[in-house]
Structure 1
Amino acid sequence: MLAPAAITDSLVAYWDFEGGTANHASASGGTAYNGVLQGNAAIAGGAVKVGTGSLVLDGAGDYLDVTSIVDPNQPWSVSAWYRADLAPTGRFMVFETSGSFPISFGLREASNTANTNHQAFADVVPGTDTSADFQLADTATANTWHQVVLASIPATAEAAGSITIYIDGVLRNTMVIPAGNTLGSANGFHIGTYRTANDRWFDGAIDEVAIWNRTLSGAEALETFQRGEQGETLTSVKYHIALSASPTTGGTVSGSGLYSAGVSVPIVASAGPGYVFTGWSDGFTGQPASFTYVASASVTASATFSEDTADSDGDGLTNYEEAVVYQTEPNNADSDGDEIPDGDEVTITGTSPTSSDALLVSFVRSNLSPNQAGVIALSSPRVERNPANGEIGLFLSLSGTAGQGPLQPINLSSPSASITPSGDGWNLSFPAPSNTVNSYILRTTNR
C-alpha cells in the first residue's frame, strides 16, 4: 500500500482563523462546528503560526464557543497550536469540552514552579479521572509556539482504551482508559477556556485547531506539526514521507518530511556498524537502500536492518559481534595489536580484544621457547564413594617434563606436595619437574 490516509480524511472541524471562526473542514459540510467569539476574543494578526490570523485571548473570560462536538466514545483526535503570553501560575486551557471534560488540554504550573505542565485530562465514567502531562521549562513555554495532538482509542468491554498526547510531533505520554469504562458526555467545545473557572482562561494566541473522528497515527501527528512548522495549512496539497529504522540501533534513514507534488526526494537507508540493510516495508517494499522518490502520495515506510553475520577479517567473530558486542574492528583481525586475534581473545585466552596484551605475549614468547618451557599435564579428575564408610574420594594425577619430552608422574604424596581447601576448591602445591626452566605450560589431559 503506497498511500496512507490523507491528513484531511475524516477531518470534521478545522479552524484556521483566516478572517473568521467558520469551520473549514469539508467533511462536515462546511457549516457544522462553526465557532462564536465570546468576551474579548478576537481574530487578529501578530502572533500567528500559519497564515495571517489566529485566535487572540487576553485571559479574562474570552474564548471561542462551539455548540456541538464529536462523540467522545468513538475514535477522535484533536490538534492545536498555542502560544502563551506568560507561564501560568494556575491553569491555561487550550481547549476543553463543556458539560463534562472527556477532551481537555491546557497548561498548568508544575510542582517545580520553574516548569510548566502541558497536560491532557479526561473525565472517565465510572472510575477515576485520568491525566497525562509533559513538562517544559517556563522559559520554553512563554512566548513560544507549541503544538499538541490528542489521539483517542475508545475502551471496550474487553480492552482498555487510550488517549495519546503528542507535543511538537513527538509522543510524550499516554492516558489509559480501563476496559469497560467510557468517557463523560460533552455538549460543546470551548477553545481557550475550561467552563467558567476564573484561573483557567488562556492568555495568548491559538491557531490551526482541528478535530477528526478517527485516531491519528504517530506519523500523522508528526505531519500536522511539520505542516505548521512550514507554514502550511492542513488542507494544502502536500505529501508526507514518514521513515523509521528497525531496529533503531541498526541504522539511519533520511528523506522524511513534507513535500510538494513532483519533488524528487532522495530516500536513503544507511546500515550502522555491524548491521546490513535487508529491505523496506510498507510503502517502499522492494526498493533498494538508496533511491529517488518523486512525491505523488504520502508514504510511511520502515527500513529493516539485520545483524551482519559475515566475518570480514577472518578472526572468528562476526562483524556484528565485533562492532556491537565487543567494540572491535570488523576489518582488523587484531584490533588491539597484541598479536592475539580478536576471536581467540574472546573464546580461548579470555583476555580483552580491545586492551593490548603485548607485554604478556612478549613474556610468553621469551619464556616458552623450546629450550626453556616445561609441561605439566593434569589427568581427568575422578570421584569415588567408599561403600564401606561412605567417604567421597577425589583422585587426580599430574605428569611433568622439564624439556617438553616424555611426561613423567609427579609424586603428590611427597612431603613437598600439599592439597588445602580454598573457598569452593583446593590449592594444589607440588614440586616442579625441574627448577632450571622459567615457566610451564599446563595441559588438562595427558598426551
Structure 2
Amino acid sequence: MLVSRGSRTAALAACATILLATSACGSDKPEETTAQQARLYGTDGNMLNSFPAELKDRADLVNGMKGTTPATPLPEEFKSRLQSVDPKLGDYLYSAETYDAIVISALAAQLAGSTDSTKIAQQIVGVTNGGERCENVAACLSLAQAGRDIEYRGVSVTRSGFTDAGEPATTSYATLHFDGERLNDGKTEFVGAGDESAASTKAPPKASKQGKNPVPGAPLVIAGLFPKTGDLALAYPPMAAGATLAIKEINAAGGVLGKKVTWLEGDDGASATKAKATVAELIEGGADVIIGAASSGISLAVLPETVQAGKVLFSPSSTDDGLTTAEDKGLFFRTAPPDSLQGRALADVILRDGSQRIAIVARKDSYGEGLQSVVKAELEKAGIAGDRIKLLTYEPQEGESAPPVDFTTGAKEVKDFGADAVLVIGFGESAQVIRALADAGVEMGS
C-alpha cells in the first residue's frame, strides 16, 4: 500500500535495498539485510513468470525481487475465459487493459453509428463516463444499439472513467514478489492510485440509434500492434489472449453495427522501424482502430503516422507521461495509467524497505528515462538527498540479431556507489543488467 510522507521518512533508517528500474514494491515491514546486500526491484515487463527464463542458467537471481505493475485484481472467471482462448497462458499482464481497449473501441463505434476513426474517437471518453452503467459486452452493446448513453465498467476500467486526455483517472498497482523463480500470488498486494474527480464530465456527441440491423459500409476493423518479437515479447501472450477474447465476445454478441468485427494483427518488434512498417501495413489493410503499441517509445514513434492517417491509436500498456500531452488531434487513448502514478508507488515500495543509497537503472528511451525521473523526484520529496540517488541508463538493442546489452561498466558504478537498492526499469533485455550486477559483485538478497 502507499504510505504517508511521514512514514516514508521514518522508513529511511531501516534496512538496505536494491531497486532495479523495472518496478519496485516491498512488504509492509522493513526487512533486514547484511551491509553487502542490495535488494532488487523491477517493474512491468520484468515482473512476469516468463522473465526468469531470460536469465537462463541464472534464473535464481530473481528470487527475492519485488516490483510493481499497473494491475487490478482479476476475477477468476475472467482468467478462465482467457485460458479458454490460450490454455498455455502463464501471465496476465495487460490482458485486462487490452481487452477493455478493444471493447471500448467497439462500443464507441456502435454509438457513433460509423466506422470512421474520427467519429469513433469522439465517443471513446464518453463510453467510460456518465450514462447507464454496464459491465459486460452483451449488455453494453445492447444499450449502445438502442442509442443509450453508457458508462462502461470492465476488467481494468473499474473505479472511474477516462480523463479529457483519454487515459484512466484512477488505477491500481500490484506489488509482486519472486519466490522460487516464480511470482508468489500469496504475497501480491493491490494499491489504488489517481483521483476520481479527474474523470471527464464532457458530453460526447449524441449517440446514434442503430439497433441490430447492418449498417451500410465496411465492418469495423480493429488491429493489434503487439510485441510478437523483440525485448517485450514476453508480454505478448497475455495481450494477445485479451485481444482474442474481446473480439470473440463482441462478435458473439452480434458484432458492431450489425456486422462481425474484423481483427488484424501486426508485430511492433519493440523497434520503431519495424513498428512503422507494420502500421503502414495495418492502415493499408483497412484498420480503423489500432490497439498498441506495447511500449511508450514505440507508441510515440508511430503516433505521427497514425495521426496523419486519421486513425485511432489505443495503447493498453504505454505509460510515459509525455503521451498525455502529445500532439494527437484527439486520436490517442490508453487504458494504461501514466507513469506519474506508478513512480509514486515504486518510491513507496523502496522506502518501505529502508533504502538509503539508491541506484536507478533504466533503458534509454521515453519509458525508461521518464519513469526514472518520476521515481527520483518522488524519492527526493520523501527526503532522500540527491547525492544518494544514482541514475544510470543503457541502450536497448533493436533486432533479434543485435548483441546483448553490455552493462559491465554500469554495474561497476553501482558497486562503487555502494547502493543498497537498485531499481532496474526495462523489459526482457534487463536480464543482462541483472547478470552484470551479479558479476560485478553486487550481492542481491531479499
Q: Structure 2-normalised TM-score?
A: 0.20
Q: Larger Cα Rg: Structure 1 or Structure 2?
A: 1
Structure ranking higher in strand proportion: 1
Structure ranking higher in helix proportion: 2
Q: Structure 1-normalised TM-score?
A: 0.20
